[in-house]
Structure 1
Amino acid sequence: MSLAGDGMGLALGGLRRLASSELLDRYGLRERVEALVQSSTRNGFTAAVGAGRQFAKASKAINGGKAARQAPVEGGGKVLFDLTPDEEQQMLVEGFVDFAETHLRPAAREADDGCATPDKLRAMATEMGAMVLGIPSDLGGVVDERSAVTSVLALEAMAAGDMGLAAGIMAPAAVASALSLWGDADQQARFLPAFTEDNPPTAALAISEPHPLFDPTVLRTTARREGDELVLDGVKALVAHVDRCDLYLVAADLQGTGPALVLVEAGTPGLAVKAEPTMGVRATASGELLLEGVRVPAANLLADGAGEVYSELIARTRIAWAALAVGTAQAVLDYVIPYVKERHAFGEPIAHRQSVAFTVANIGVELEGMRLATYRAASLADQGKPFAREAAVAARLAEEKGMQIGSDGVQLLGGHGYVKEHPVERWYRDLRAAAVVDGMVLV
């Protein structure tokens, strides 16, 4: 990853090297310096966001009417397969891990019960740069190169705090990333600047539909051309923040073309919403979006309805859900290990039981497989190489192994796994979402 502000990266890198020095222990300064590093990681990244926005205001006018894009990651031709986060990515991850542990985990139960993502948490994530990870630096983003891996790391870190909150926070960023990847210059100029402000709009991908065995390539929502307008009809399901969105990116079958993506602003005549609380990821406040004769300018068609763009979007959403599943599965593993060591039955820790130990070990093994497949797919996407197959593999592992890890977590806690006093029942419900939700988040 390459941050737009290289000076910030150098400064924080110096602090990190200082924190690793043995001299700190000798003089009793370690806790003070580590706290400084942690604070600087968060605040420094926020400063980079601000600098990027100021630069964007000066550069938009000289963009020459050409859409801005993040550059492919350099080194795509290397033979070695190395997914080790670079120093800047590691700093970002540490910031989001702290955010997840300090703020998301404590708020998760109330958010799940209330079916809402607190505005305070969304504002904090925006300050940390979550909204602009996929936006080119000359339009107000903070990353010069494509950032699927960086987005995966952020999603994983936040999902370890709570998957529902992570998905709810990052749902608007999915629309911003789609505009950055495929929007033309006019679409970027019209919609993207708002996402770089301190109070970004609420936006959502609208891909899924409410019928059995939904296939994202076979859409019942339709779009047809009438003059210089598109007319949309249909029903979309599992749309995040459905009742408070300012902008929707709707998947529809474009007459004579096939699946395509259309930008629809809230308040457009013919739009209606319906709340529909779900079993898991309830903090996303998802529901149905009803479109009846909705008319939008033909200019709102993303990438001229290119089929390959729609296919790539679906692959990128699969990577995103795999990342969320990895983070939640890691939370399960981190919770059950101390539990089985401390929980006693028949005079000894239940961890001494072979069946328990084997189950915990199997969670760890499957989790590493999920993580590696997810990172690999994201890395290929950043390099501009084909990645649909790898995204499908990562999604399949997230569906099967993630759900099994959630079930095993509940089983290992016995009766405690069934009550809300322990978070594993919520993680189990959330992990099932990876098998049923299309869209919502994107890398």
Structure 2
Amino acid sequence: MDIGKSLMTRLSPGGRHGLASTEQRDPIGYAVAALNKLAQSDLLDRVGLRKQAEQVVFTSTREGFRTVTAASRQFKKTGGKGAGTRAPAAPRQGVFDLTPTEDEQMLVDVVSEYAEEVVRPAAAEANETCEAPEAVLKAGLEIGLPILGVPEALGGISEERSAMAGTLVAEALSKGDMGIALAALAPGSVATALGLWGTEAQQQTYLPAFTEDSAPAAALALQEPTVLFDVLEPSTTARRTPDGFVLDGTKAGVVRGAEAELFVVGASLDGTPVLFLVESSTAGLTVEAEPSMGVRAAALTTLRLEGVTVPADAVLGATDGSTYTECVRLSRLAWCALAVGTGQAVLDYVTPYVKTREAFGEPIAHRQSVAFMVANIAIELQAMRLLTYKAAGRAAAGQEFTREVALARKLCSEKGMAIGNDGVQLLGGHGFVKEHPVERWYRDLRAVGIMEGAVLV
């Protein structure tokens, strides 16, 4: 995989962002140039220092607000024909080695720096305002998050299936904040879906916008506000017409839906789940704010489709349910990665805390009950990571990964919540107040077993 090199090429003077010369630099030089540029960016100074007074405070009303989405971008339809460009599967190594490649590690280093220096300082305020700061999202664009899963031939940075790289990036971002990670990854998830399943015409119509400096907000809409919701049996319907399809239904948990310009909507067509591309300017499409318990920075919304008419070429992928099912699996894989990253943040926070917090004249880490609880977090976290990486590795290689992702999601949803709960417990009274971020991580981790869609790798 040559993701790191492709990324650094885009950050060169000849590329989009002009970070450093790609001539006369080795891979380490690329990484250093990227990290130096990120550290020197004035975006770091603005994050956390500038009040986001103009941001919409979703929590100011229990019912939220309702608005008709506006078309701020015109996607130019093309007459391309064919199945579209696909990134090849990653080569099989023949051994179970979870060590990231040099290029993957380079990418993780850049994203980790972004998560630590940009995302985490902005997390508390983003949680209060229910919106990721614009400066933070712009910094994410600068390091190439929207084009991570787009094939290099289409203007992206991926030379092969990016499930493993996407998993590593989602984990690294979530260590900063899961809500902001969702907000930053959502547009790239739609671009990745187009790269995986889009026709040539669809790719030529939409992907160029994601490779620009101002990539559009976009969202994956699979979740529905239904009791005992089964993501593989959506209640949103698609009805055939002579000119295309008519969509009716309601989607929930749509990331940044109020500003999204393109949606990938799951609907039932003749009893089979299918994905549809829906532009925000389409008549009958409305968005309502949906303030949530966790991942509040993702600006979750409810998407209502009332007689939404889309053309025949709006179908994304196959209509036999296979594309939709793969989308669900890749989305669950992304949620597992987010759980691993947030769980690691909890472990990294509570470990020094219990070593310095004293009770009865000694650190509470000297108590066996405390030490065992911290050790258990580390054990469960490593199990979550191993299962997630194995599923990602098989997905990247183009192998069947249904069983692996099911096991990973089962473990990450249950143990992720347990890790969040134990983190709050270890901090005692401090775990219940907003002075410490553990209570926010606990609320975020509860979303792993509930949310469907939103992001994919």
TM range (shorter): 0.7 to 0.9
**Does structure 1 residue 68 correspond to structure 2 residue 85?**
yes
Structure 1 residue 304: Cα displacement:
3.7
Aligned to 1:361: 375
Q: Deviations over 1:223-266 (max 9, x none)?
A: 011012100000000011111110110000012x5000001110
**Does structure 1 residue 218 correspond to structure 2 residue 233?**
yes
Instruction: Tell me, in whole angstroms, the C-alpha distance in 2 between the residues paired with 1:35 and 1:266.
Output: 39
1:91 to 94, 98, 106: 106
Instruction: Tell me, in whole angstroms, the C-alpha distance in 1 between the residues paired with 2:163 and 2:288.
Output: 32
1:273 to 263, 279, 287: 287
Aligned to 1:422: 436
Structure 1 residue 364: Cα displacement:
0.2
Q: Deviations over 1:286-340 (max 9, x none)?
A: 1110111100101001114231111111000000000000000000000000000
**Does structure 1 residue 260 correspond to structure 2 residue 274?**
yes
TM-score by length of 1: 0.88
Q: Deviations over 1:62-108 (max 9, x none)?
A: x985511111111x2x4311121111111111111111111111100
Structure 1 residue 268: Cα displacement:
0.9
Aligned to 2:265: 250
Alignment of 1:383-422 (within 5 A): 383-422=397-436
Structure 1 residue 15: Cα displacement:
3.9
Gaps of 5+ in 2: 10-21, 41-77
8 Å CA contact 2:183, 2:298 repeated in 1: yes
Structure 1 residue 37: Cα displacement:
7.4
Instruction: Tell me, in whole angstroms, the C-alpha distance in 2 between the residues paired with 1:222 and 1:87.
Output: 45
**Does structure 1 residue 132 correspond to structure 2 residue 147?**
yes
8 Å CA contact 1:41, 1:91 repeated in 2: no
**Does structure 1 residue 371 correspond to structure 2 residue 385?**
yes
8 Å CA contact 1:204, 1:248 repeated in 2: yes
Aligned to 2:96: 81
Instruction: Tell me, in whole angstroms, the C-alpha distance in 2 between the residues paired with 1:274 and 1:370.
Output: 34
The 3-state SS of whatever aligns with 1:433 is coil
Structure 1 residue 11: Cα displacement:
2.8
Count of residues in Structure 1 that have an aligned counterpart in Structure 2: 405
Aligned to 1:163: 178
**Does structure 1 residue 204 correspond to structure 2 residue 219?**
yes
Q: Deviations over 1:322-365 (max 9, x none)?
A: 00000000000000000000000000000000000000000000
**Does structure 1 residue 292 correspond to structure 2 residue 306?**
yes
Structure 1 residue 380: Cα displacement:
0.3
Q: Report % sequence identity.
A: 52
Q: Deviations over 1:154-181 (max 9, x none)?
A: 1111100000000111011111100100
The 3-state SS of whatever aligns with 1:69 is coil
8 Å CA contact 1:12, 1:40 repeated in 2: no
Q: Deviations over 1:94-136 (max 9, x none)?
A: 1111111111111000001000011211111111011101101
1:231 to 246, 249, 253: 246
8 Å CA contact 1:206, 1:440 repeated in 2: yes
**Does structure 1 residue 38 correspond to structure 2 residue 35?**
yes
Change (3 A) 1:10 1:134: farther
Instruction: Tell me, in whole angstroms, the C-alpha distance in 1 between the residues paired with 2:108 and 2:23.
Output: 14
8 Å CA contact 2:81, 2:201 repeated in 1: no
Instruction: Tell me, in whole angstroms, the C-alpha distance in 1 between the residues paired with 2:37 and 2:90.
Output: 26
Change (3 A) 1:188 1:247: same
Question: More deviation in 123-132 or 1-10?
Answer: 1-10
Structure 1 residue 273: Cα displacement:
1.0
8 Å CA contact 1:67, 1:185 repeated in 2: yes
Instruction: Tell me, in whole angstroms, the C-alpha distance in 2 between the residues paired with 1:308 and 1:340.
Output: 48
8 Å CA contact 2:257, 2:301 repeated in 1: yes
Counterpart amino acid of residue 138 in structure 1: A
**Structure that is richer in helix per residue:** 1
Runs of 4+ in 1 over 4 A off after TM superposition: 6-10, 34-37, 40-43, 63-66
Aligned to 2:13: none
Counterpart amino acid of residue 39 in structure 1: N
Instruction: Tell me, in whole angstroms, the C-alpha distance in 2 between the residues paired with 1:143 and 1:91.
Output: 14
Instruction: Tell me, in whole angstroms, the C-alpha distance in 2 between the residues paired with 1:11 and 1:42.
Output: 19
Change (3 A) 1:174 1:224: same
8 Å CA contact 1:41, 1:94 repeated in 2: no
Instruction: Tell me, in whole angstroms, the C-alpha distance in 1 between the residues paired with 2:432 and 2:23.
Output: 45
Change (3 A) 1:264 1:166: same
Instruction: Tell me, in whole angstroms, the C-alpha distance in 2 between the residues paired with 1:379 and 1:40.
Output: 31
Instruction: Tell me, in whole angstroms, the C-alpha distance in 2 between the residues paired with 1:193 and 1:165.
Output: 24
The 3-state SS of whatever aligns with 2:169 is helix
Instruction: Tell me, in whole angstroms, the C-alpha distance in 2 between the residues paired with 1:306 and 1:14.
Output: 45
Aligned to 1:111: 126
Aligned to 1:323: 337
Aligned to 1:28: none
Instruction: Tell me, in whole angstroms, the C-alpha distance in 1 between the residues paired with 2:39 and 2:158.
Output: 16
Gaps of 5+ in 1: 17-33, 44-60
1:152 to 153, 167, 171: 167
Aligned to 2:50: none
Instruction: Tell me, in whole angstroms, the C-alpha distance in 2 between the residues paired with 1:223 and 1:212.
Output: 21
Aligned to 1:24: none
Change (3 A) 1:288 1:14: closer
Change (3 A) 1:80 1:151: same
Change (3 A) 1:236 1:14: closer
Instruction: Tell me, in whole angstroms, the C-alpha distance in 1 between the residues paired with 2:307 and 2:426.
Output: 51
Instruction: Tell me, in whole angstroms, the C-alpha distance in 1 between the residues paired with 2:37 and 2:258.
Output: 36
**Does structure 1 residue 338 correspond to structure 2 residue 349?**
no
